[in-house]
Amino acid sequence: MTRTVMDPETRRSELIDTAEKLFLENGYEGTTVSEIVRNAGVAQGTFYHYFKSKDEVLSAITDRWIEEIRAGIEDIASRDDSDAIDKILGVFSFFSSLGRSKQGLVEYFHMERNAHLHIKFEKSVPQIIIPPFSRMIEEGVDAGFFDVRYPEMAALAIIETAGAISHIHETYRLEDKAEKMKEITDATFDFIERILGAEPGIFMEYVSKMEASV
């Protein structure tokens, strides 16, 4: 049988794909290197050619998520068919969808033993989000939606606010407490509107319109 020779980057990407799928299905601790190579259809030596350990694969997955976030936010910021409020809501929807799709690994990242991965996220993500987010805010200022003197600082403040809100969810496990969830959502939009100098209630107005059109 002729051996298939694969481009090194393609092979590496395939191993990351396989590892991420198994980590999400079985948990990081519940997945072995042997299972990764078996599912990828490669020899164990091939795995160790690209990665020193399972931890190194997880770090590679983290890097890819960061790139996925960068590309996703840039795509939202570049849309010609959306105004600034639509785009900002689109960013929140993007993060919510990403978090749900990778929930098991996100929770693993937040464990104390994985502080280095959490720190990588917290250092990298604001740096890649702030430039496109600032452009969205500037668009909103030009359109008369916002009254902001320092768009970059406003973008950072919103990102930090959203991060603080996410920690409330993680700490108190509020998914099944509808009334409290609504209160947090309302508070989040209130904070953002104050940071942006936006008309009170305008974000919820947009959300209601979006829900009505679905």
pLDDT per position as a tens digit, 52-76: 999 899 889 888 988 999 999 999 9
192 Cβ contact list (under 8 Å, min separation 6):
88, 158, 161, 198, 203
Q: Which domains does the chain have, with CATH numbers?
A: 1-51 (1.10.10.60), 55-213 (1.10.357.10)
Residue with tokens 């929807």: 93
Determine the Cα–Cα distance for residues 63 and 16; give it in Å rounded to an integer: 11
Q: What is the pLDDT of residue 174?
A: 53
**Spacing of C-alpha 164 from chain mean position:** 15
Provide Rg for the chain, Cα atoms: 20
Taking a C-beta distance cutoff of 8 angstroms, is the pair 105, 24 a contact?
A: yes
Q: Residue 2 — pLDDT band, cuts 50, 70, 90?
A: very low
The structure tokens listed for 106 are 């996100």
Residue with tokens 């990081």: 28
Tell whether the model's pLDDT for residue 117 goes beyond 60.
yes
